[in-house]
C-alpha cells in the first residue's frame, strides 16, 4: 500500500484533495514568450526558478515570490502588493494569487479559502491544459490548500504566511506592519468595538457575525465621554476598532473633531502592547465633515494619509468617504476623486434637506481581507440593506 504524504503544517485542511497536473512537465520544444518562457528556462536551460519572475517570466528578478518558489520582478512586485488583498463582491480575491492579474480565474473550492488562480499561471506552471481540467471540476482545492506542496513547477513555500508578512513589511511603502495571516483552524470569531456608527449589519452580511450572535462579539457605543481604560479592558479584548464621524445633516452634540480625538483615545486602550503578534485592526471613517486642519491632525495621529472611497453611479459622484485604516489593501481601493469634486459634493449635501446616510455601506467590502485572520460563519455574502 502506498504511503500517504504527511500534511504540511502550513496547509489548511480541506474537504477533498484533488491533484491536477502534479507530474513533471515535459520539456518544451521551443521557448515561448512571457510566462511560456518559464518552463523552457527551467527544463532546457536548467535555470533556477528563483531567478525567473513567476508573474511575467522576466529574468530581471527583484526579490522572491512570497507564496511560491520563484522570483518576482519590480513591476510585478508593485502590482502584487496593490492587489493581493483586494476582494470582489462575491467574497473571493479579485486577482490571481500567483501573478495578481489574470482575466479568467479558477476559484478554490475549499469553503475556508478565498483565493483564485488565472488560467495562464496554471497552464504555464503546472502543465498545459491543466486550467481546462480544473475548470471542468466541481470541487477543486487550490495550491495553497493542498497537503502536497508541489504541482508541476509550482512549489508552495514552507511557512508561506511568515514569508508573506516579511515580503509585505520589506517591500511595501506602508508605514504600518502587516499581521501574519492565520491558518483556518486557529481563526476565532472577531471581537468588535464599534464607536458612533454601528457596523453589526455589515459584518453579519459578510459572514463575520452570526444572526443572534453573542453580544460580546460586538459592542457598540454612541458616547464614550466617560469611557476609561478600565472599562475597555473589562469589555475586551477586541480585534477590530471601528469609528466614524456622523454624516452631513445628522444632528450631533459634538464638533466633528471630537469623534477623531475620542477614537484615537480609545485606540490607545484597545490595541495590544508593542510587539504583540495578535492581529488587531482599526478603521476611522470621515463622512466628509472634517476640515483640512482636522484631516491633517487625523493623518498625524493615525500615521497615514486617508484613502478616498467614492460611490459613483451613472457617471456622477453620489457619495464618498475618507478612510484611515490598517486593514490590508484599503490603500489599494483608493479612487481618483479630485478635491474639487469632494468639495462640491459636500456643498450639495449641506444645502440638501435630506441627511446623508451612514457610510458603512461604502466601506463594507473593506472588511473582507479580515477573512484571512478571523472565522467567518457563511461563505454566501448577503445584502446589508
pLDDT in tens, 212-242: 656 558 899 988 999 999 999 999 899 999 9
Residue 167: Cβ within 10 Å count: 22
Cβ atoms 63, 164 nearer than 8 A: no
Q: Are residues 368 and 325 in the same domain?
A: yes
Domain that holds residue 357: 184-372
Longest dimension (CA), the chain: 78
Predicted pLDDT at 335: 53
Distance CA 52, CA 70 (A): 6
3-state secondary structure of 281: strand
Each residue's pLDDT tens digit, 240-296: 999 999 876 666 778 889 999 999 999 999 999 877 888 999 999 998 888 899 999
Q: Are residues 209 and 274 in the same domain?
A: yes
* Residue 3 belongs to a domain: no
The CATH number of residue 194's host domain is 3.40.50.150
* Residue 382 belongs to a domain: no
Q: Of 115, 139, 171, which closes a domain? A: 171
Residue 15's pLDDT band (cuts 50, 70, 90): very low
Question: Which phi and psi angles does 275 have, rounded to 5°?
Answer: 85, 0
Q: Are residues 121 and 230 in the same domain?
A: no
Question: Which phi and psi angles does 300 have, rounded to 5°?
Answer: -70, -45
Q: Are residues 229 and 290 in the same domain?
A: yes
Each residue's pLDDT tens digit, 46-61: 999 999 999 999 999 9
Distance CA 25, CA 128 (A): 9
Q: Are residues 49 and 152 in the same domain?
A: yes
Each residue's pLDDT tens digit, 124-173: 999 899 999 998 888 889 999 988 888 899 999 999 999 999 999 899 87
Predicted pLDDT at 17: 43
Distance CA 164, CA 179 (A): 10
Task: Look over the chain and give the mean of its residue pLDDT values, rounded to a whole number.
Answer: 81
More confidently predicted of 253 and 194? 194
* Residue 4 belongs to a domain: no
Q: Are residues 192 and 167 in the same domain?
A: no
Q: Would the pTM of this model clear 0.85, i.e. be above it? A: no
Grid coordinates representing 69 are: 518558489
Q: Of 171, 205, 222, which closes a domain? A: 171
Distance CA 134, CA 326 (A): 35
Count: domains in the chain:
2
* Residue 84 belongs to a domain: yes
Cβ atoms 324, 306 nearer than 8 A: yes
* Residue 355 belongs to a domain: yes
- In this predicted structure, the answer to whether residue 7 has a pLDDT above a threshold of 60 is no
Q: Are residues 149 and 74 in the same domain?
A: yes
* Residue 270 belongs to a domain: yes
Q: Are residues 222 and 93 in the same domain?
A: no
Distance CA 288, CA 346 (A): 7
Percent of the chain with pLDDT over 90: 39
Say which residue the cell 513533471 belongs to. Answer: 24
Predicted pLDDT at 16: 41
Q: Are residues 259 and 134 in the same domain?
A: no
Predicted pLDDT at 84: 84
Q: Are residues 150 and 212 in the same domain?
A: no
Q: Are residues 229 and 158 in the same domain?
A: no
Predicted pLDDT at 365: 82
Transcribe 211-245 into DSSP letters.
TT--GGGEEEES--TT--HHHHHHH---SEEEEEP
3-state secondary structure of 150: strand
Q: Of 127, 150, 171, which closes a domain? A: 171
| Angle, helix 74-83 to helix 160-171, in steps of 10 degrees | 110
Q: Are residues 136 and 214 in the same domain?
A: no
* Residue 233 belongs to a domain: yes
- In this predicted structure, the answer to whether residue 353 has a pLDDT above a threshold of 60 is no
Question: Which phi and psi angles does 167 have, rounded to 5°?
Answer: -60, -50
* Residue 14 belongs to a domain: no
Amino acid at each position: 500500500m502506498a504511503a500517504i504524504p504527511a500534511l504540511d503544517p502550513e496547509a489548511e485542511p480541506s474537504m477533498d484533495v484533488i491533484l491536477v497536473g502534479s507530474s513533471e512537465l515535459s520539456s518544451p520544444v521551443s521557448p515561448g514568450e512571457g510566462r511560456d518562457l518559464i518552463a523552457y528556462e527551467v527544463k532546457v536551460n536548467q535555470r533556477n526558478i528563483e531567478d525567473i519572475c513567476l508573474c511575467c517570466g522576466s529574468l530581471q528578478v527583484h526579490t522572491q515570490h512570497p507564496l511560491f518558489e520563484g522570483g518576482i520582478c519590480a513591476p510585478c512586485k508593485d502590482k502584487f502588493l496593490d492587489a493581493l488583498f483586494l476582494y470582489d463582491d462575491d467574497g473571493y480575491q479579485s486577482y490571481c494569487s500567483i501573478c495578481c492579474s489574470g482575466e479568467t480565474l479558477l476559484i478554490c473550492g475549499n469553503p475556508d479559502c478565498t483565493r483564485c488562480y488565472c488560467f495562464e499561471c496554471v497552464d504555464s506552471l503546472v502543465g498545459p491544459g491543466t486550467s481546462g481540467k480544473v475548470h471542468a471540476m466541481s470541487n477543486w482545492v487550490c495550491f495553497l490548500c493542498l497537503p502536497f506542496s508541489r504541482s508541476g513547477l509550482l512549489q508552495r513555500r514552507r511557512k508561506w504566511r511568515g514569508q508573506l508578512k516579511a515580503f509585505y513589511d520589506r517591500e511595501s511603502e506602508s508605514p504600518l506592519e502587516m499581521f501574519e495571516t492565520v491558518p483556518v483552524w486557529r481563526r476565532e470569531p472577531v471581537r468588535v468595538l464599534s464607536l458612533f456608527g454601528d457596523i453589526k449589519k455589515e459584518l453579519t452580511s459578510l459572514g463575520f457575525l452570526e444572526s443572534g450572535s453573542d453580544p460580546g462579539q460586538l459592542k457598540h457605543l454612541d458616547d464614550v465621554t466617560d469611557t476609561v481604560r478600565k472599562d475597555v479592558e473589562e469589555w475586551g479584548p477586541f480585534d477590530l476598532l471601528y469609528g466614524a464621524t456622523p454624516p452631513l445633516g445628522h444632528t450631533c452634540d459634538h464638533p466633528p473633531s471630537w469623534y477623531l480625538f475620542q477614537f484615537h483615545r480609545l485606540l490607545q486602550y484597545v490595541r495590544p502592547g508593542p510587539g504583540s503578534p495578535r492581529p488587531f485592526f482599526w478603521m476611522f471613517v470621515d463622512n466628509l465633515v472634517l476640515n483640512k486642519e482636522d484631516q491633517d491632525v487625523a493623518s498625524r495621529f493615525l500615521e497615514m494619509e486617508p484613502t478616498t472611497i467614492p460611490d459613483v453611479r451613472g457617471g456622477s459622484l453620489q457619495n464618498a468617504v475618507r478612510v484611515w485604516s490598517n486593514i490590508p489593501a484599503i490603500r489599494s481601493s483608493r479612487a481618483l476623486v479630485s478635491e474639487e469634486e469632494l468639495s462640491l459634493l459636500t456643498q450639495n449635501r449641506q444645502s440638501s434637506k435630506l441627511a446623508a446616510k451612514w457610510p458603512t455601506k461604502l466601506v463594507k467590502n473593506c472588511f473582507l481581507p479580515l477573512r484571512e485572520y478571523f472565522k467567518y460563519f457563511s461563505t454566501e455574502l448577503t445584502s446589508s440593506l
